[in-house]
Structure 1
Amino acid sequence: MSDPGISVVICAYTEERWEDVRAAVSSVRAQSYPALETLLVVDHNPALGARLEQAYRADEGVRVLPNSGPRGLSSGRNTGIAASHGEVIAFLDDDAVAERDWLRRFAEAYADPRVLAVGGRTEPAWASGRRPAWFPEEFDWVVGCTYRGLPPGRVRVRNVLGGNASFRRTAFEAAGGFATGIGRDGGPRPLGCEETELCVRLARARPDGVLLIDDRAVIHHRVPHARENFAYFRTRAYAEGLSKALVARSVGADKGLESERRYTTRVLPAGVARGLRDALLGRPGGAGRAGAIVAGLLTAAGGFAMGSLRARRGAYAFAVERRPGREPA
């Protein structure tokens, strides 16, 4: 099979991340496996869109376009899918930079025609320079990064993680696009799980398909000071519980919570045990990590319970763009 053309979609929404967006684009341009194109989708921020258009006016490899749907990350990604021309569409967070072989690792995996999605490993780049001693690796998903408990190497998974992911175009033709009403929507609550919901739908539509994570496809995701504190940790954990309730409502609890059962019954107890052992050995942060794991689990469970209650009452509405079509050339 010939090497696939890969379009990269970066969704941006605020001028506060101007330097981050520029760094993200530069990391794509420096890939050892060149991207077919880079699409910057701007989420209902005309000033940012105009500034980016000016910055990349002379760069034929970068296109800037507005989110054509409702505010939010899912709609922005769907806009990028529709405007892209690649056989594969990769997604990079606007505050992350990709290592040089990021796209090459994705392309290698797509040599198998059964592969419909490939994700990578996301490392935290802490604003303070190092991980807070109390912050458990089991909860690195709180800051959008790969967490302890995911299997190493190139392995099959239920879902990829959205900030460092790619999909074959035929995956969207089979399952539709990202669901709006799930995930980040510009509001104050840091919701998520839109990629999980999509991947479960994709597995149902294409049971013969393969979804992978290759931990050699690495990006580095900036974690600002505001997300290094326990208050954000709890807020994000609660929002994740709300999001998981929406996923379970959309695709059913069996598949929607399949990976979470192993995570809560095996990964987290092992993390608590490690933290307590470190505390007994006098290692810094051990007790804090054990306590954070327990607090994070209970907070997420509370969010899930509240989300399930609201879902039963019809408080949430979400929609799937069935086939984000390709724009005319």
Structure 2
Amino acid sequence: MRRSRRARSALLGAQQPGGRAADRGDARRGGDAVTDLTVSVVVVSRGRPDALARCIAGIVRLHYPSFEIVVVADRPGRRKLDTLPDVFNRIKIVACDEANISVARNLGIAHAAGEIVAFIDDDAVPEPLWLDHLVQGFGDPRVEAATGYVIGPDGINFQHRITEARPDGTGRPIRTDGKTIRLLQPSEDGAIKTEGTNMAFRRDTLLELGGFDPVFRFYLDETDLDMRVALAGGITAAAPLAQVHHAMAGSAQRRDDRVPSSLTDVGRSLAVFVRRYLSDGEWARAGRAERQRRRKSLISHMVAGRIEPRDVRRILSTFDAGWSEGSKLEPDPIPLLRSEDAEFLGFRASVRQPGHRIVAGRTWQSREKHADALRLAEQGWTVTLFLISPTSRPHHAAYANKMYWCQRGGLFGRSTRQEPHRRSWRFDARIRAEQLRLSPVRGSPPAEVDKH
């Protein structure tokens, strides 16, 4: 796979003008879905056992026919897994008590046996057709990596789409139509960014490149790997319909309200990253620019009342400390990635019925409709429950009871940000519109819809 950028350009054609990412076309057209590739789904978890249980509850209901689950977790996470009957003795559990996401992900790769290794964070839940869309691009042998869209905490609108990573640690958006899988080549000095909570790589590529560099304990770990994939000549498949819901739960780095607890690892990783990919005269400028962006973000949190003025200075000082440490580091060469030659532990998903069942009702029917949705989910269906009020309240969605999806909002309220704030709807028409929006990521429902 290893090719210089010059060789890669000769193989794939000239760069797009203006230094933009080049589009190498659609993924396979007209053929069957790529379902013969085995996939290892790796979940790294530290300090969030309840979030991990919710994530696993979503993974076990994926539609993809051939995947295994590899969980790399600390002691609380491993104990939580022992209490989940759906996965007991059916998944691979790897111990990791070190606070280093690159080390943990490399352990997951070492125990993975799938041809494709997919990654999702422990505070995320995948849509049922996530793997079907994410793996599709690998039908083209040039594709070494894939990524998709990330849905934010409201359960509907996107937090991340497709981005080109720059050598200064920033990114710039790449336009897609939101549906078609595109095969993308980065500009000469960039990479197609994979989102850490929604990405996949060929296992052979990960082993060849050494996986994730342990010098990145947190932040820019996947971006560094993306840069190495680009340098080696790999193409990345951008799959907009490969979607995961990211709750952004609290961690050692940030609180539940997204206020950073510490920016030490951010500053440290950024310093290592820009020193690796920028010239000496450029990397200090990149550090100053990122510090200013972080300062503006902290001031926004202060204005919102989440932190006090003294917290702005205190948290910024942790960025400075991390930057200072990273500026002095002389990272070791990326170590060879160890492989355990593990056997593939195929997981038989909990979804046993084809299609996507819709349960819809008014908010005052909540108890009855939740019971209906739970009953169908226990029968093995993918289920979405809609609870609609006679208002203009915006919609939000969540994974309810770790079994089915629940979307709430007003009959006249918008679901996506692209819609008007208020629009006249009949109940049946609104449910059909929402079902049509969700079908590409959850599947099409049978003819009947359970609504009253």
TM-score, length-scaled by structure 1: 0.66
3-state SS, counterpart of residue 76 of structure 1: helix
Aligned-residue offset at 1:317: 4.6
1:1-20 correspondence runs (5 A): 3-14=36-47, 17-20=48-51
| Contact 2:216-2:269 at 8 Å conserved across structures | yes
Aligned-residue offset at 1:148: 9.5
Aligned-residue offset at 1:60: 5.0
Aligned CA distance change for structure 1 residues 300 and 48 (closer, same or farther; 3 Å): closer
Aligned CA distance change for structure 1 residues 51 and 310 (closer, same or farther; 3 Å): closer
Aligned to 1:222: 247
The equivalent position to 1:211 in structure 2, one of 236, 240, 248, is 236
Aligned-residue offset at 1:311: 3.6
Aligned-residue offset at 1:179: 1.1
RMSD of aligned residue pairs (Cα, Å) = 4.0
Whole-angstrom distance in 2 between the partners of 1:242 and 1:303: 10
The equivalent position to 1:168 in structure 2, one of 190, 202, 207, is 202
| Contact 1:3-1:111 at 8 Å conserved across structures | no
3-state SS, counterpart of residue 179 of structure 1: coil
TM-score, length-scaled by structure 2: 0.50
| Contact 2:113-2:342 at 8 Å conserved across structures | no
Aligned CA distance change for structure 1 residues 81 and 148 (closer, same or farther; 3 Å): closer
Aligned CA distance change for structure 1 residues 71 and 18 (closer, same or farther; 3 Å): closer
Aligned to 1:320: 334
Whole-angstrom distance in 2 between the partners of 1:39 and 1:97: 15
* Residue segments in structure 1 that go unaligned for 5+ positions in a row: 132-136, 142-146, 185-191, 273-284, 290-298
Whole-angstrom distance in 2 between the partners of 1:175 and 1:125: 33
What is the number of equivalent residue pairs in this alignment? 264
| Contact 1:239-1:300 at 8 Å conserved across structures | no
1:1-329 correspondence runs (5 A): 3-14=36-47, 17-43=48-74, 45=75, 47-56=76-85, 59-67=88-96, 70-125=98-153, 149-153=172-176, 154-155=181-182, 156=184, 158=191, 159-184=193-218, 192-204=219-231, 206-207=232-233, 209-224=234-249, 226-228=255-257, 231-232=259-260, 235=262, 239-249=265-275, 251-253=276-278, 309-314=324-329, 317=331, 320-329=334-343
| Contact 1:5-1:88 at 8 Å conserved across structures | yes
Q: Which amino acid aligns with 2:105?
A: R
Seq. identity, %: 23
Once the two structures are overlaid, the 10-residue window that deviates more, 32-41 or 300-309, is: 300-309
Q: Which amino acid aligns with 2:82?
A: E
3-state SS, counterpart of residue 125 of structure 1: coil
Whole-angstrom distance in 2 between the partners of 1:108 and 1:101: 11
Aligned-residue offset at 1:310: 3.4
Aligned-residue offset at 1:253: 1.4
Q: Which amino acid aligns with 2:244?
A: I
| Contact 2:267-2:326 at 8 Å conserved across structures | no
Aligned-residue offset at 1:303: 8.1
* Residue segments in structure 2 that go unaligned for 5+ positions in a row: 1-33, 164-169, 305-313, 344-452
Aligned CA distance change for structure 1 residues 34 and 23 (closer, same or farther; 3 Å): farther
The higher-RCO structure (CA 8 Å, 6+ apart) is: 1
| Contact 1:82-1:325 at 8 Å conserved across structures | yes
Please tell me whether Structure 1 or Structure 2 has the larger radius of gyration of its CA atoms: 2
Whole-angstrom distance in 2 between the partners of 1:96 and 1:318: 32
Aligned-residue offset at 1:308: 5.5
Whole-angstrom distance in 1 between the partners of 2:266 and 2:240: 23
